[in-house]
A and B are shown apart, each in its own frame.
Chain A
Amino acid sequence: MPIVFKMTWIEFKLLSREPVTLVFSFAFPILVLVLLGGIFGDQTMERGAYQGVKMMDWYVPSFIALVIASIGTISLPVHLSSYRERGVLRRFRASGVSEAALLGSQLLVSLGVAFVGAVTISLLGIVVYGVQMAAAPAEVALAAVVSTFCFAGIGTLLASLAPTARAAQSAGLMLWFVMLFVSGTSAPLELLPSWMVSVGKALPLYHSVLAMVDPWIGRGTNWTQLALVAGIGLVATLVSLRVFRWE
């Protein structure tokens, strides 16, 4: 078995032995989704490009993007930089583990966790809030995979730049919380002042949300947004490969 798959498999086993590490990635977005469901549960969008769309039909796919963002910008960098801090990366490197195998396994683990997150959020939306099942599941899945690639790249970059695991955690949380408020994943976009929307557009979650929502509500793949997400991911990955540090 190639080393990247073996590492991925071990990482999954480690996660299953310490599931509490995923609590934030899952529990917090679900909590927020429930709160938003309580506020906007039966409303529809009144203005803007998504006028007439049920609020929860917007929130469910966009919260899948939000969970993916938290896996990438919080869980992954904290995990990688604590490996570095504790000398685990040093151990891997001395034994000839390549950057590609290490980061590849992190991406695969993120994809696996994102899948679990997407299923959880979808079931919650469909069962509790009567949200329509995704109109084009395969296209939604494509957007989710591209988003995971994007946020895993950003997470790797954060892990490479942050001096310590705590620094990586602070930076990741900060980025994630800013994105939470300006990407249509809390207050609806049409209620945000225009400068906030501009901030949102400068950050990846905004684009990832649109890329997830459009195929979910039957508007088909939003290639522009998908390309933006992929582009941000590619740049982040290329830069992080250059600045990655084993110790």
Chain B
Amino acid sequence: MPPVIVAEHLQKRYKDVVAVADASFVVEQGEIFGLLGSNGAGKTTSVECLQGLRHADGGVLRVLGLDPQTQSRELRRRIGSQLQESALPDHVRVWEALDLFSSITPGGRDWREVMEQWGLSDKRKASFHGLSGGQRQRLFVALALVNGPEVVFLDEMTTGLDPAARRVAWDLVRRVRDMGATVVLVTHFMEEAERLCDRIAVMEAGRIVAEGAPRRLVADHARYVTVVFSTDAEDLAWLTEAPGVERVLRHGARVEVRGGGAVLAHVAAALVAHGITPPDLRVELPTLEDVFLALTGHEMEE
């Protein structure tokens, strides 16, 4: 089966500012694909080009085999878009918006069902301007799904949701995927990318700097584990001699030892040999956060 989305050397500039320098990636049928990066990395611009909302300056784009630049009308019937910045008229009611948007595409889903799934039934008669940030967000996701799309673009979908609502949203996105849709998720939220995405492309300054399954990225790019414990012992110079140890960091009583895969066993052995048996000895496995730091040289800002 051909990929659902192909982006080859996508480029986009706004006047003098390069938003996307050169981005290539593919998204396969039925996966949840995450574009991860900090603000200004070019994620939103990339997906907006894919949705035919912006014209790319260069590169080849295909979504469901269609060219978003020239076949946007047909494309929009088959995709769902939850945009990062958009609004509805203040006085439109939740049910009216869902009803309106579902009738744009004939043969879409029953909007009542989508409204129920996204927990909007209690708010069906509420005006858009009376909704909280989280409720608006859920309404926009519901609007993106109401036409029964084959590909769904979710741009910072869980921004404004509290942690509980966020988990519910993740479950619903998995359900959307399980029903056969392909999901493209733009996020700067590590936990979301790690838990929800089948594959991730890390974007930095308009380029894709790494791509793969979250675990694969961690295995490839964050080869170090960190052993952490507390001790009052003054001199720990001997720890750097232990096999596999790369670096020892000390913050008061807390000690962090970074090193290769087997470092925990060697550190433990060395500690015991020196008569130190810290009760809080533990190992911290690398996360996507460490991958991101390793790839971009900076932490993700919130």
Contact = CB atoms under 8 A, between A and B. Distances in A.
Interface of A: 1, 3, 6-7, 10, 13-14, 17-18, 83, 86-88, 90-91, 93-98
Given A6-B103, A90-B53, A90-B86, A95 B91 contact: no
Contact of B76 (A10, A13, A17, A96): A96
B267 interface: no
Contacts of B88: 88, 91
Contacts of A17: 91, 127
A10 B53 contact: no
B86 A87 contact: yes
Contacts of B89: 10, 14, 83, 88
8 contacts: A1-B103, A10-B96, A87-B85, A87-B87, A88-B88, A90-B53, A91-B140, A96-B104
Given A6-B100, A10-B92, 14 more contacts: A6-B103, A7-B100, A10-B89, A10-B96, A13-B96, A87-B87, A90-B53, A90-B83, A91-B140, A93-B53, A94-B86, A95-B101, A95-B104, A97-B104
Given A3-B103, A10-B92, A90-B53, A95 B87 contact: no
B52 to A, nearest CB: 9
B83 A94 contact: yes
Contacts of B73: 96, 98
Interface of B: 51, 53, 73, 76-77, 81, 83, 85-92, 96, 99-101, 103-105, 127, 140, 143, 147
B137 to A, nearest CB: 13
Nearest to B54: A247
Contacts of B104: 3, 95-97
Contacts of A83: 89
A51 B273 CA distance: 118
Nearest to A89: B86
A13 B77 CA distance: 26
A116 B61 CA distance: 49
Given A96-B76, A98-B73, A86 B100 contact: no
A9 to B, nearest CB: 9
Contacts of A90: 53, 83, 85-86
Interface centre among A6, A13, A14, A96 (most CB of B within 10 A): A96
Contacts of A96: 73, 76-77, 104-105, 147
A87 B84 CA distance: 10
A88 B92 CA distance: 11
Contacts of B83: 87, 90-91, 94
A14 B51 CA distance: 29
A16 to B, nearest CB: 9
Contact of A95 (B90, B99, B127, B147): B147
A86 B99 CA distance: 21
Given A17-B91, A96-B73, A10 B100 contact: yes
B163 to A, nearest CB: 27
Contact of A14 (B87, B91, B99, B101): B91
Contacts of A95: 76, 81, 101, 104, 143, 147
A158 B214 CA distance: 50
Contacts of A10: 89, 92, 96, 100
A62 to B, nearest CB: 33
Nearest to A7: B100
B37 to A, nearest CB: 21
Contacts of B92: 10, 14
Nearest to B96: A10
A113 B73 CA distance: 31
Contacts of A97: 104
Contacts of B140: 91
Given A94-B81, A95-B81, A88 B103 contact: no
B60 to A, nearest CB: 22
A44 B143 CA distance: 59
10 nearest A-B pairs in the assembled complex, by CB-CB distance: A96-B76, A91-B86, A94-B81, A87-B86, A17-B91, A86-B87, A87-B87, A90-B86, A14-B91, A96-B104
Nearest to A97: B104
Contacts of A18: 90-91
Nearest to B83: A94
A246 to B, nearest CB: 8
A7 B99 CA distance: 10
Contacts of A14: 89, 91-92
A83 B87 CA distance: 8
B86 A88 contact: yes
A95 B52 CA distance: 11
Nearest to A82: B89
Nearest to B81: A94
